[in-house]
């Protein structure tokens, strides 16, 4: 068993910001990240609404800067997956190691939601993708479908246009959820076509994607639409499965935490996209992370937040 003042689970914007503030408070801190530090924002190429970067900034650069800033402090980062958290003893188990902490910050984020249609699982990596930034270059001059109607679809459709021959957005309603500025850009791009009031009911292909079945929700008609790739951007699900039954959550698994990031368990804090809130952005994930570190510091030092 290894002891730390603070263990942070997750190395996206929320976890890295919590680590920054914890390091500056001189808490002996461990950050656990199962993949590469940076989080799912790295599945977008650029971010245009992070303050201070007119014209936008590459997500790789932004997250590398956040990581470098944390590394200037004595925060330890380990590449492991937290598989269990005892919310009473505050012991985090990664399978290979156990860490006991004065406080724990959960910043485990969320993962892309699956469409859950026939062919999706079998053809993932063979034309089905959840990351345009990673896979778009494979679709040079090809015909791709992108599913969803939010900001992620808009940004990734515009990015895909740099490579693909045509980008066909399939959305289940008439109106998009994406911000107006992104909708304007999509409408101005002649490579982008909209298939509205429609859903993808299946993905077809022997070894790689060759078509999707699309159902028109108004007429009820279903037809195959030939394509080489399918990008799915229909929101996210919180990465909180390992905490089920241990903390109060909503019905979708988002952790309930107050404005101090205090959860239902003393000394356990939650921040970023794994927390139930109304607006999921990098900027407020960072804000959450700063607050969580402050609350954890106060809890450890016996000051207030965290219902010690």
* One of 46, 131, 138, 150 touching ligand NAP (CB under 6 A): 150
Among 63, 104, 144, 234, binds ligand NAP (CB under 6 A): 234
HEC assignment per residue over 220-265: CCEEEEECCEEEECCCEEECCHHHCCCCCECCCCCECCCCCCECCC
- State which of positions 204-233 bind ligand NAP (CB under 6 A): 233
Residue 87 known to be catalytic: no
Contact pick of 59, 151, 168, 198 for ligand NAP (by CB under 6 A): 151
Residue span binding ligand NAP (CB under 6 A) among the ranges 157-165, 234-242, 254-262, 264-272: 234-242
Residues 185-204 that bind ligand NAP (CB under 6 A): 199
HSE-up of 8 (CA within 13 Å, CB side)? 39
Task: Give the β-pairing of 57-58 and 211-216.
Answer: unpaired
- Under the binding rule (CB under 6 A), the answer on residue 280 touching ligand NAP is yes
- Residue with smallest beta-carbon separation from ligand NAP: 150
Q: Binders of ligand NAP: how many residues, by CB under 6 A? A: 19
- Asked if 37 and 77 count as a contact pair (C-beta separation under 8 A), the reply is yes
State which residue, 176 or 300, has the beta carbon closest to ligand NAP: 176
In the residue annotation, 271 being an active-site residue is answered as: no
Q: Which of 86, 87, 131, 216 is catalytic?
A: 131
Side-chain-side CA neighbours of 127 within 13 Å: the count stands at: 23
Which is nearest to 58 in space by CA: 41, 70, 39, 72?
41
Q: Which one from 5, 86, 116, 135 is the annotated catalytic residue?
A: 135
Which member of 26, 121, 162, 173 binds ligand NAP (CB under 6 A)?
Answer: 173
Pairing of strands 143-147, 229-232: parallel
Q: Widest CA span of the chain, in angstroms?
A: 63
Active site (annotated) includes residue 135: yes
Closer to ligand NAP by CB, 105 or 153: give it: 153
Separation between Cα atoms, residue 187 and residue 176, nearest integer Å: 12
Q: Of the two residues 103 and 152, which places its CB atom closer to ligand NAP in the complex?
A: 152
Burial annotation 71-88 (CB, 10 A radius, 16+ → b, else e):
eebebebbebebeebebe
Q: How far is the CB of 168 from ligand NAP (least distance, A)?
A: 14
Q: Which residues contribute to the site for ligand NAP (CB under 6 A)?
A: 49, 147-153, 155, 172-173, 177, 199, 233-236, 280-281
Query: Mind telling me the catalytic residues?
Result: 131, 134-135
């Amino acid at each position: 068993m290894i002891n730390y003042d603070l263990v942070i689970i997750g190395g996206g914007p929320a976890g890295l910001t919590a680590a920054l503030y914890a390091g500056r408070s001189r808490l002996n801190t461990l950050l656990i990240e199962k993949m590469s530090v940076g989080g799912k924002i790295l599945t977008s190429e650029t971010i245009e609404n992070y303050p201070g970067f007119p014209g936008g900034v590459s997500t790789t650069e932004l997250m590398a800067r956040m990581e470098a800033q944390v590394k200037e402090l004595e925060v330890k980062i380990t590449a492991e997956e937290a598989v269990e958290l005892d919310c009473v003893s505050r012991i985090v188990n990664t399978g290979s190691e156990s860490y006991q902490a004065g406080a724990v910050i959960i910043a485990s984020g969320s993962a892309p939601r699956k469409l859950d249609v026939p062919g999706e699982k079998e053809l993932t990596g063979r034309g089905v993708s959840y990351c345009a930034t990673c896979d778009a270059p494979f679709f040079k001059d090809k015909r791709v479908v992108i599913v969803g109607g939010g900001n992620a679809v808009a940004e990734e459709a515009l990015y895909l246009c740099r490579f693909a021959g045509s980008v066909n957005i399939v959305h289940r309603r008439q109106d998009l959820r994406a911000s107006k500025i992104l909708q304007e850009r999509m409408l101005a791009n002649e490579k982008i076509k909209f298939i509205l009031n429609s859903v993808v009911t299946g993905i077809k292909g022997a070894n790689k994607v060759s078509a999707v079945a699309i159902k028109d929700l108004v007429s009820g008609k279903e037809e195959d639409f030939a394509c080489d790739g399918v990008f799915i951007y229909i929101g996210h699900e919180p990465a909180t499965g390992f905490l089920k039954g241990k903390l109060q959550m909503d019905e979708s698994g988002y952790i309930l935490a107050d404005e101090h990031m205090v959860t239902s368990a003393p000394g356990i804090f939650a921040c970023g996209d794994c927390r139930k809130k109304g607006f999921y952005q990098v900027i407020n994930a960072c804000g959450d992370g700063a607050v969580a570190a402050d609350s954890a510091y106060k809890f450890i030092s016996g000051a207030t937040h965290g219902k010690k």
